[in-house]
Structure 1
Amino acid sequence: MKLTRYIGYAALAAWLLAAPACTGAKVTPTAATQPEHHTVTDRYCVTVGGVDLPVEAYKDIYYVNFALDGSAPVLIGSAEPLTGCEVSPAARGIAASVEGAEARFTLPGAGWWVVRLNDRDRLFLLADEPEKAPAANGQTLNAADFVSGDGLQTANLQRALDEASATGRTLIFPRGVYPTGTLRIGSNTHIYLADGAIIKGSDDREDYPTDGGLPEADHIHNKEHYTDNGEWMTFSRLILVDSAENVSIRGRGIIDGSGAMLRAQGKPANLIRIRNSRNVSIEGVLLRDPAAWNTHIHYSDGVTIRDVKLINDATVPNTDGFDPDASTNVMIDHCFAYCSDDNVAIKTTNNLGLNKDLRNIVIRSCVFLTRKSSLKVGTETKAARMSDILFENNDVVECDRALALYCNDGALFENITFSNNRVERNYPDSQRRPIHFKISERHGKGQIRNVMIRNCDFATVFPRPAEIAGLDADHTIDSLTFSNVTIGGRPVRSPDDLGAKIRFTENIRFE
């Protein structure tokens, strides 16, 4: 559906001529693939830098994915009159003008942008940096060459992955749809998903075998033993990187888990699990529709996730975004995540008995929306120590709880920093608190110490106050510092300014 349906050719031309100059801006639309896997809406139309971009309707949101080099004017046309248009992250200061059924503003460059229209619909503008695809040559394999027929391709794609692992050649998935069940990725495997390529998870639960044949408790099968505790909830996934090293997945394609259909069958499969592995990177791809946690980083070291777009179905339970679990040296950098459950949940689950102290986790320069907690450590905390965790320069556009520490299983949390994070809106869920730090006794009694909240801004006052609660006199939250923190435009310089419920704490400082 062309934008000119709403605004007309003359109006479009006049606006583009009057718009701020784009310094060599280049806009590249993401390639469309088979229509059965993409639902292009006619509710909204978007043009960026004079290029019409298809708007995808996905569950309860809309999104556009494209590459952008330089600043560019944006024009949004609506099928109904617009009464408001807000662009987030608000800290970037992008002002939109609205007239009739049109909204206009200018993007400064690539990045993740959330446009709220009529204070109701959310339209994600996911603007990647331009990239150069690898050339097909003697150092590459073509996944399409392994495909046979029109049905499920699990065995064929596994053969391609095994050959890529054995030879070190990059496996390229060209434009197209690749239906599959669980795929296992071994050492020295490098995957490139081209623009328009979709690894599409099967919608049949039988195509996702569990680890060692272990029974999965879920809300339909084995319901009496169901729990969302990560030690027991899931033993299956679409993509498994297991006991591997030197693995990369990159590109502009999509990995889609058919999560809503699987969860309706009682199958809580992760989209990606990285387990007992080292030197793994995921870059640039769109990760969509898991049946449970999207990306689970378990018992691994040296994992980097950068420039990844993650979109979950907000109606499917337990769909966390990124879950570093009993891992070390993990970097999640410049990513976008829209989740029904936690955007980030740093934890130690003891899944399959694989557990160790967690340390050196960095979550940086991301844009997040969630119905639950955004920047979180917990809830499963079954290692002895979880330390040296940094949440830095993130924009939380919407959440129920922004900063959360949940120590439930006896661990020591230590050296955790929230620095230069910005929080915009509260989503009306169970807690509605800006900060929620709590020690509980589930499988042990833990402690929290040396926590810094620095240069953090909460744009609105949440309906309920912050809660900072140790367990008892021997299991406290100790050495918590607030430095240059604002809530609703007011500086937090005392417990009264914070308005928090505080108990069993020591050495709280305000700077």
Structure 2
Amino acid sequence: MSAKMDSERSTYGAIAGTLVRPQTASASASTATVLLLFAFVAVASLQIATWKPFPRWTSVTGNRPPEVSESAAAPEDPRSCGGFFEGGAARRKAVKSIREFGGVGDGKTSETEAFRRAVRHLRRFGESGGSQLNVPRGRWLTGSFNLTSNFTLFLEDGAVLLGSQDPEEWPIIEPLPSYGRGRERLGGRHISLIHGDGLTNVVITGQNGTIDGQGKMWWELWWNRTLNHTRGHLLEIMNSRNILISNLTFRNSPFWTIHPVYCSNVVIKNMTILAPLNAPNTDGIDPDSSTNVCIEDCYIESGDDLVAVKSGWDQYGINMAHPSSNIIVRKVSGTTPTCSGVGIGSEMSGGISNVTIEDMHIWDSAAGVRIKSDKGRGGYVANISISNIKMERVKIPIRFSRGSNDHPDNGWDPNAVPTVKGIFISNVLSLNSTKAPELKGIEGASFEEICFKNFTILGLAQSAAWHCELVSGYANGVFPIPCPEQPGWLRALLSMHENEHDWS
């Protein structure tokens, strides 16, 4: 986790740097600027305990799988959402090493059949105490393999799983019913490196072992326009319940890295997820048509969104109507130069509601939080709480975008527009952004109750202004002033910008 520690930088130190380097020669203007910035720091430091748009889901059980290393046994944060995992704390009855199934671990020999044999063997213990497969130190080259229920995959210190460079070892499977086709190409899609369907009580953990998808081969197929089927994920869990993913490093996924879809009670914590910043569509974590999902204490570097909440694509997502709800994203930090810290959509046709995003640090990124929708999507985005966010050199802090013209086929309905209601954004500090927020609704759709409180953007050019269309809401303690020409936009209190003369 040294990369995480090295990358985290003090927001207040950056503000101090701003204070000692005034950008104006006017003494009175400099004094006003200093006083104003100190006021912003004070406002941004407040923890607004009374402004809670909906209850936060917290559950502290004190339980953790005994397979998790002692280094992961730090006292539980009382606000942790880790209690979403209800897998129990009993040790697995059958514990085996991959070496017992012919594994070599030299980084050259294919271990695909060894992993598949191991899971087939351990499946028999699913109803009689469960099982655990240990992967010791070494480099384990493997194609795709499936998991089983009541099962732990444990990577010991120094263990590295390497994704096979043979596409035949990533077989083609059916498209997701809420997408109707592969996300990138028509027809089926490559299975993920590690895959599970219809499972319960699964743990994927270790002593910071690594799963490396060796995705460059897949990225080049995409760049060269020679990709025949949609790329596979590093880890996909489908139609499953009680999943814990923790204490590992995931690297170089061919496509989205961790993809729980049609799942419930999923906890993803203490993870490091890395991909080159130009690697296409290497989202970090994408909860999709899932409920009760906890993502916390993760560091992510990605060529796409760090976290993206999804729920199906156009008419396929509308017809399946499998929403994403009760999702918490907290204490996540990282960078993505082309996308956002957290994205909602653009595939959101089954609906997305009750999402908490809090205590994030995002830097050198295209956007902080982005809500992506379009005509044809339908669905809804409702009851989203975004709070305590630090951004540094994030191009656009908050963005509502539209018009991607990205549809699975010609069957989408242009009259299917989303409903967006109840977006609560508070205690946000953005340093050195180059653009003000963009809030663009969709003609014929409802975008209302977009609410900002204690939201400060520093470093913008004086000419930079919020761009708001077809949205309504309110603002309290926001700088610079939001949506000045937008009808229906209310300001509960004068913004700091409006009171700027009081500080001079």
User: Do they superpose with TM above 0.5?
Assistant: yes
Structure 1 residue 301 and structure 2 residue 221: aligned? no
C-alpha deviation, 1:137, in angstroms: 10
- Superposed displacement of residue 508, structure 1: 2.8
- Where does residue 90 of structure 1 map in the other structure? 10
Q: Hey, what does 1:155 align to over in structure 2?
A: 113
TM-score (norm 2): 0.68
Q: Which amino acid aligns with 1:475?
A: A
User: In the superposition, relative to structure 1, how do residues 137 and 414 fare at CA in structure 2: closer, same or farther (>3 Å)?
Assistant: closer
Match status 1:406 vs 2:377: no
Distance 1:329 1:445 in 2: 26
Q: Partner residue of 1:172?
A: 134
> After superposition, where does 1:23-422 map in structure 2 within 5 Å?
64=2, 88-91=8-11, 130-131=71-72, 139-148=94-103, 151-167=109-125, 168-212=130-174, 228=184, 234-251=189-206, 252-265=208-221, 266=227, 268-349=231-312, 356-371=322-337, 372-383=339-350, 385-408=351-374, 409-422=377-390
2:290 and 2:175 mapped to 1: Cα distance?
A: 25
Q: Which residue number corresponds to residue 435 of structure 1?
A: 398
Post-superposition Cα deviations, 1:7-36, rounded to whole Å, max 9, x if no partner, equal xxxxxxxxxxxxxxxxxxxxxxxxxxxxxx
The Cα offsets for residues 247-286 of structure 1, whole Å up to 9 and x where unpaired, read as 0011111111111123334362210111111100101000
Aligned length: 374
Query: 1:411: how far off?
Result: 1.4
Paired residue for 1:468, among 439, 445, 452?
A: 439
- Cα offset, 1:365, TM superposition: 0.5
Q: Structure 1 residue 481: deviation in Å?
A: 1.0
Report the CA distance shift for 1:299/1:191 in structure 2 as closer, same or farther (over 3 A).
same
User: Counterpart of 1:187 in 2: which secondary structure?
Assistant: coil
Is the 8 Å Cα contact of residues 407 and 447 (structure 1) preserved in structure 2? Answer: no
Aligned match for 2:465, one of 499, 502, 510: 499
SS of the residue aligned with 2:346? strand
Change (3 A) 1:509 1:233: farther
CA distance in 1, matches of 2:174, 2:189: 12
**For 1:505, what is the secondary structure of its paired residue?**
coil
* Contact 2:331/2:358 (8 A) holds in 1: yes
Find 1:479's aligned residue among 435, 449, 452.
449
In the alignment, the residues of structure 2 paired with residue 250 and residue 405 of structure 1 have an alpha-carbon distance, to the nearest angstrom, of 31
* Equivalent position SS for 2:283: coil
Offset at residue 290 of structure 1 (A): 0.6
1:188 shift after superposition? 0.8
User: The residue matched to 1:399 in structure 2 has which SS?
Assistant: coil
Say whether the 8 Å CA contact 1:179–1:199 is kept in structure 2: yes
Structure 1: runs of 5 or more not aligned: 1-62, 67-73, 75-85, 96-127, 218-224, 427-431, 491-495
Contact 2:135 2:155 in 1 (8 A): yes
Structure 2 residue matching 1:394: 3-state secondary structure: strand
Change (3 A) 1:344 1:232: farther
- SS at structure 2 position matched to 1:319: coil
Distance 1:92 1:507, change over 3 A: closer
**What amino acid does structure 2 have at the position aligned with 1:193?**
L
**Using the alignment, how far apart are the partners of 2:95 and 2:322 within structure 1?**
37
RMSD of aligned alpha carbons: 3.3
Deviation readout 1:476-500 (Å, 9 max, x if unpaired): 320111111110179xxxxx99821
- Between the aligned residues of both structures, percent identity stands at 26
Q: Quick one: distance in 1 between partners of 2:238 and 2:175?
A: 17
What is the alpha-carbon distance in structure 2 between the residues aligned to residue 365 and residue 64 of structure 1? 16
**Letter aligned with residue 143 of structure 2:** G
Please state how far the C-alpha of 1:410 moved relative to its aligned partner: 1.1
Partner Cα distance (2:421, 2:335) in 1: 28
Q: Which has the higher helix share?
A: 2
Give the letter for the 1:258 counterpart: Q
* Secondary structure, counterpart of 2:114 in structure 1: helix
- Counting strand residues as a fraction of each chain, which structure ranks higher? 1
- Give the Å deviation of 1:438: 3.2
Q: Please give the secondary structure, in 2, of the residue aligned with 1:151.
A: strand
Instruction: Please tell me the residue identity of whatever aligns with 1:380.
Output: E
* Alpha-carbon offset, residue 402 of structure 1: 0.7
Which deviates more, 200-209 or 265-274? 265-274
Equivalent pair of 2:174/2:189 in contact (CA under 8 Å): no
Q: Distance in 1 between matches of 2:450 and 2:320?
A: 31
Following TM superposition, by how much is the alpha carbon of 1:181 offset from its aligned partner in structure 2, in angstroms? 0.6
Q: Tell me the amino acid that sits aligned with residue 342 of structure 2.
A: L
CA change 1:478–1:93 in 2 (3 A) is same
Preserved CA contact (<8 Å) 2:279 2:302: no
Deviation per CA, 1:368-401: give whole Å up to 9, x if none: 2112111110111221x21001111011122101
Paired with 1:420 and 1:152, the residues of 2 have a C-alpha distance of: 46
SS at match of 2:281: coil
* Residue-by-residue CA offset, 1:81-128 (whole Å, 9 max, x unaligned): xxxxx8523248699xxxxxxxxxxxxxxxxxxxxxxxxxxxxxxxx9
**CA distance in structure 2 between the aligned counterparts of 1:478 and 1:233, rounded to whole angstroms:** 38
Counterpart amino acid of 1:338? E
User: Using the alignment, how far apart are the partners of 2:10 and 2:458 within structure 1?
Assistant: 14
- What amino acid sits opposite 1:163 in the alignment? H
Change (3 A) 1:179 1:357: same
Partner AA of 1:447 in structure 2? T
Stretch deviating more after TM superposition (439-448 or 309-318): 439-448
Report the CA distance shift for 1:479/1:212 in structure 2 as closer, same or farther (over 3 A). closer
Q: Say which structure, 1 or 2, has more relative contact order (CA 8 Å, 6+ apart).
A: 2
TM-superposition CA deviations, 1:33-77 (whole Å, max 9, x none): xxxxxxxxxxxxxxxxxxxxxxxxxxxxxx8579xxxxxxx9xxx
Structure 1 residues 476, 356: closer, same or farther in 2, change over 3 A?
same
Whole-angstrom CA distance in 2 between matches of 1:197 and 1:329: 30
